[in-house]
Amino acid sequence: MEPREIYVAGEWVAGEAEPIAVSNPYTDREVAQVGAASAEQVRAACRAAKRAFNEYRRWSAHRRAEAVARLRDGVRERREELAQILVRECGKPLTLARAEVERCLETLSLAAEGPRFLTGHEVPLDASPVGEGMLGLARRVPLGPIAAITPFNFPLNLTAHKLGPALAVGCTVVHKPASATPLDAFVLAEILSGLELPPGTYNLVPGRGAEVGEPLCASGELRAVSFTGSGEVGRWLAARAGLKKLTLELGSTAAAIVAADADLDFAVPRLVRGAFGFAGQSCISLQRAFVERKIFDDFRDRFVAETRTLAVGDPAREDVLVGPMISAAEADRALAWISEAKEQGAVVLTGGTREGNVVQPTVLVGVRLEMKVVEREVFAPVVSLVPYDTLDEAVAWTNRNDYGLNLSIFTKNLDAALRSAEELEAGAVLVNESPTWRADIMPYGGVKGSGMGREGTRYAFRELT
């Protein structure tokens, strides 16, 4: 199987590092090989991005908007191909894969509108005595060439969230996709190669972790790094990025508070799907549910019953919601965390087993807050249910660790909802919705150990200018 070539400075070239084998996580069979960039090829891509920036930054707003719109149109023409790639390379259930493609189209549509509305502002210089008779105008300009480093779990839409706004505002991009899921990026590169952009406007440099990340961060040609991934890698990148502007989305232990007055017919199905869709491999998959004690038993029984209705298995089936973990190693880790929780006193109400790389949706009770499955990001189909007595207690427990991306509360009490939104430490607090919910138009990013900066097209425009 010949490896795919990488894309640097407007040319398809052979990767100089050891090729990457891409496997279907459900079957464990190899589906493709892709070239991997050497450190020197990464540096060449950064130089190409800088050269291209000197031309592309001067493109008019309507030309940049048209480029992003044409990228979107190319994705639309290949939407089913891209969905099938997502099924094969990351084990995403087909229905969710198609939904990701549709989200990508929406993200690129929103990005294409950006150049028409990205404005500066008037500065009232005469408000200062030294500015008497003067008028100031501030305008936003593109930051420069950027590195985009994307994760395995939403390889298409999260690339669109970095690439679309960058191209819209006039930045050029060096893109490192996750080594487990690079195939959709090659489709994007193929589309972009036909748009007559300045050579080097988009560069695709697949590779393994630090082999590509180190020269990207060390590059003096780049002005920003936009990264989505683990906290450990995010901190590693930040330590090496120097004065580059950073946008870091580093995961979470997403939680929901369920008050006694919540509509459980409404809440439970949303929370179950938010917990277990795509095997819980989203940064905002529900991991912790704090439930008011007076309804805890009812909620627990409903939650377990709803969990047992989920279709689990082959992601190519349209009815499946829970497919495989991204690798056998990740499935091993999930089972090890469950076993450790059981040894420490937790009780498994359903799940806790695996078949191949598929981990059954798992519901735990009897957990303690310091347990790994509660305190750290599990990134697997594992949810802990915890009873609470007062809202103050629930808020304190939710805030106790170092994450803060999306959180939610289910209640009919407006005062409780607004109070929780004020006191919960998170980038977003959703009311009567799963913390896993996200609209691509909204600001998205975390606080504390969940990162810095914001995505969501109009908010990314600010980060990149």
Find the CATH number of the domain harbouring 333.
3.40.309.10
In this structure, are 201 and 238 located in the same domain?
A: yes
The predicted model gives 153-179 an average pLDDT of: 98
Q: Are residues 204 and 259 in the same domain?
A: no
In the sheet where 224-228 sits, what is the strand order?
Answer: 11-13, 6-8, 202-204, 173-176, 146-149, 224-228, 245-249, 451-452
pLDDT at 306: 99
* Average pLDDT score over residue span 211-234: 95
Number of domains observed in the structure of the chain? 2
Least confident segment among 14-23, 117-126, 437-446, 447-456: 117-126
266 and 128 within one domain: no
What was the pLDDT predicted at 74? 98
Give the pLDDT band (50/70/90) at residue 82. Answer: very high
63 and 45 co-located in one domain: yes
CATH number at residue 38: 3.40.605.10
Q: Are residues 118 and 260 in the same domain?
A: no
Q: Is the pLDDT of residue 205 over 70?
A: yes
- For the residues 387-414, what does the mean pLDDT come to? 97
Specify whether 297 is located in the same domain as 239.
no
227 and 111 in one domain? yes
Query: Which helix H or strand E contains 177, and what residues bound it?
Result: none
CA–CA–CA angle 99, 88, 178 (5° rounding) = 85
Q: What percentage of the chain has pLDDT greater than the value 90? A: 96
Query: Is residue 346, in this structure, part of any structural domain at all?
Result: yes
Q: What is the SS3 string spanning 214-234?
A: HHHHHCCCCCEEEEECCHHHH
Question: How confident is the model over 242-279, as pLDDT tens digits?
Answer: 999 999 999 899 999 999 999 999 999 999 999 999 99
* Over residues 290-314, mean pLDDT: 99
Consecutive H or E run containing 194: none
372 and 314 inside one domain? yes
Torsion from C-alpha of 403, 408, 413, 418, nearest 10 degrees: 50
Q: Is residue 330 part of a domain?
A: yes
**341 is a domain residue:** yes
CB 323 within 8 A of CB 421: no
406-410 and 255-258 strand pairing? parallel
Is 441 within the bounds of a domain?
no
Percent of the chain with pLDDT over 70: 100
Q: Mind listing the pLDDT tens digit for each residue in 405-421?
A: 999 999 999 999 999 99
Is residue 219 domain-shared with residue 286, that is, in the same domain? no
Please give the pLDDT value at position 314: 98
CA–CA–CA angle 461, 441, 164 (5° rounding): 45
What pLDDT is stored for residue 120 in this prediction?
87
Note whether 178 and 49 are same-domain residues: yes
Residue 294: Cβ within 10 Å count? 11
Asked whether residue 97 is domain-assigned, the answer is yes
Q: What is the pLDDT of residue 313?
A: 98
In a domain, 308, yes or no: yes
Is residue 1's pLDDT more than 70?
no
Calpha distance 206→186 (Å, rounded)? 10
> Which residues are catalytically annotated?
249, 283
Do 356 and 408 fall within a single domain? yes
Range of the domain at 213: 6-250+448-463
Does residue 337 fall inside a structural domain?
Answer: yes
- Model confidence at 237: pLDDT above 70: yes
In sequence order, which ranges of 308-327 are alpha helices (DSSP H)? none
Q: DSSP characters for 325-342?
A: -SSHHHHHHHHHHHHHHH
pLDDT higher than 80, residue 359: yes
The predicted pLDDT at position 209 comes to 87
Containing 81, the helix (H) or strand (E) segment is helix 79-90
Question: Where are the alpha helices (H) located in 118-242, listed in sequence order?
Answer: 157-169, 183-193, 210-218, 231-240
pLDDT digits (tens, 9 = 90+) for 314-324: 999 999 999 99
Per-residue pLDDT, 321: 98
On whether residue 243 sits in a domain, the answer given is yes
Looking at the structure, do residues 424 and 400 belong to the same domain, yes or no?
yes
